[in-house]
Chain A
Amino acid sequence: MLEGLLIGLQTALSIQNLLMVIGGCLIGTFIGMLPGLGPMSIIAIMIPVAISLGDPSAALILLAGVYYGAIFGGSTSSILLNAPGVAGTVASSFDGFPMARQGKAGKALTIAAIASFAGGTIGAILLMVFAPMLSSVALLFHSAEYFALMVVGLSAIAAFAGTGQVAKAIMMTVLGLIMATVGEGALFNMPRFTMGLMDLQSGFGFITLAMAMFALPEALFLVLKPRENKESDGDIKDLRITRAEARAIAPVIGRQSVQGFFIGVLPGAGATIASFLGYAVERNIATKAEQEEFGKGSIKGLAAPETANNAACTGSFVPLLTLGIPGSGTTAILLGALIALNVTPGPRLMIDAPEVFWAVIMSMFIGNLVLLVLNLPLIPYIAKVLSIPRNFLIPFILFFTLMGAYIGQNNATELLLLVGFGICATILRFADYPLAPLLIGFILGGMLEDNFARSMQLYDGISFVWERPMTLGLLIVAAILIILPSYRARRARLRADGIADGD
């Protein structure tokens, strides 16, 4: 591990990679502040730039910096405008915005920055400890277990993303898997479902799909319903917090770093769930007097979601780096970027590309430090981005979305596909269909089929399911993950109906 840390430090501290971290954090903060643009959209837009770097470590460090920066930027717009830039920072506005209205915007931003820094740093330490352990366990896995593990991951994502409507999330996952089968796969070397079109020979472009699923609908929603531009109260001054305040939030930060990290590790449960759960837990365990302050400008109510969402972001890297399975839409996009750079995340990543694995972990520490040291004093100036008129902002967002898809494939047909998929994604969002499972299904589709085919060939059929106990166990877990939320939602509905009927 020490050797790995040294390799990571050496790689992360190179001039190029330091610039990537700083640049990524600044770009992420800047764009993350814009209401409507989430980390998935920002990362999708940045992928062509990252891929063009050619160096997987530098690319992943840049994208990780953008990810953290976007979460940090999202908190700023939550606190100053009550308009969260990203879903993971919605809970931060519950107490952050009231603080800003009370003239404590500077203090709220400092608490958010410190909590984010602590959450991210403690999360990175936990990642350093748990990732190698999980990697060594995962090395024992065969293709059958991998197949089953991916089914578990997809089921968990569908179960979490569905929130009571699991069928919709499963449908989206299956649609993603179906889209992954289009084109000439490596497995059979024959075109499938291309309808004779040459442009579909290599399948759908991952970047095009990512842009269409996230960036384009967000921009269209901004056009359809412009958000009110609420003014923040005066200039941002007095960024200091008192010793008593620091003592009050310290235990919150400690608890939420650990809780947020483990929520982040779970597939499907990302920063958003971690931040809401963190807020709820801290509110429940607070004293009665403190509980009354929640929602009115409580520093604990602000520190809890801020710590938890950053720790969860770090935690979501565990399944990505050790198993090659993305736990969230954002890490799914990162996985796609890594595959485009010929790096396959998974248990062998630590052995085959230790410089990538450890450099990413080390860059998390550096990124968090950059966000704290560089961004905090710059926040009053960076916050000026919130005053860019939408007449200029939206065409630029759309342009960068188009450019991202074009640069990725150098093919104008991709742009038409982007517009078409973007319209479909917007309609799906109107009807409350979750889009992250579709993208994760699309990215995992190739690997899932590859492992399924290998297991079928090795066992000359489907017998691997019952001949390998771990595979069977994992598939049972997957089935439970799908059935349980549907059953519970149905029971809750029936109970509610019963009460309504006067039973």
Chain B
Amino acid sequence: MALDRWIGLVLLGVCLVYGYTAWFTMDGGLAPFMQRNPIWPSTFPKVLSIMGIIASLIIVLGFEKGEAKIGDIDYRKLWEYNLGQALLLLVLMAAYALLLRPAGFLISTSGFLILGSVILGERRILLTLIIAAVATGIVWYLVQVVLGIFLRPLPLFLGAT
């Protein structure tokens, strides 16, 4: 089965769970006065669940056969591309999300930019350090001082507010 039909199957599952919630569990706690209304909080989701189930079934059962297009990247030969770099960058992004508050903006951001460049093959470490440090400082200044959006600059253990 082609990838688009597998995705269709996953989406069918999502729509079924969504529909089950809308049809069977959502209205349980509905206040009596709301039950006399022509529209309930579950009405629109019920309509969407039916539409979603029909559309995903059309995809899964292959009723609408489209030409199999291969874009810039052929997912069937994914290992021939820089898959390792892409996965490492995703892990780095998740680590950045988790460390942004505890490590502070300056350390986590410069770390992200340095490691990101290293993952992509940059070996001029001094240049990378300088670019990351300057860029982090400029972005922090622009966001914190110019735009007035608070970004904790230093780690929590240094007592930064």
A283 at the interface (CB under 8 A from B): no
* Cβ contact within 8 Å between B7 and A428: yes
* Cβ contact within 8 Å between A456 and B116: no
A residues less than 8 Å from B26 (CB atoms)? 192
B96 at the interface (CB under 8 A from A): yes
Whole-angstrom CA separation of A177 from B48 in the bound complex: 8
What distance in Å separates the Cβ of A383 from its nearest Cβ neighbour in chain B?
A: 21
State the main secondary structure of chain A at its contact with B: helix
Interface size class for chain B?
A: 35 or more
**B13-35 residues at the A interface, CB under 8 angstroms:** 14-15, 18, 21, 26, 34
B154 at the interface (CB under 8 A from A): no
* Cβ contact within 8 Å between B90 and A170: no
A residues less than 8 Å from B112 (CB atoms)? 395, 398-399, 402
B100 at the interface (CB under 8 A from A): yes
* Cβ contact within 8 Å between B7 and A457: no
* Cβ contact within 8 Å between B71 and A392: no
* Cβ contact within 8 Å between B97 and A402: yes
* Cβ contact within 8 Å between B64 and A178: no
Whole-angstrom CA separation of A466 from B57 in the bound complex: 29
* Cβ contact within 8 Å between B63 and A167: yes
* Cβ contact within 8 Å between B100 and A412: yes
* Segment at the B interface, from A103-111, A359-367, A429-437: A429-437
A residues less than 8 Å from B45 (CB atoms)? 178, 181, 192-193
Given A174-B48, A398-B93, A457-B39, also A226-B82 (CB < 8 A): yes
* Cβ contact within 8 Å between B41 and A190: yes
Least CB separation from B113: chain A residue? A395
* Cβ contact within 8 Å between A431 and B75: yes
Selected contact of B4 from candidates A407, A416, A433, CB within 8 Å: A433
* Segment at the B interface, from A133-141, A217-225, A270-278, A349-357: A217-225
Residue positions of A touching B, CB distance < 8 A:
48-49, 52, 164-168, 170-171, 174-175, 177-178, 181, 185, 187-188, 190, 192-193, 220-221, 223-226, 389-392, 394-396, 398-399, 402-403, 406-407, 410, 412, 415-416, 418-419, 422-423, 427-433, 449, 452-453, 456-457, 459-461, 486, 489-490, 493
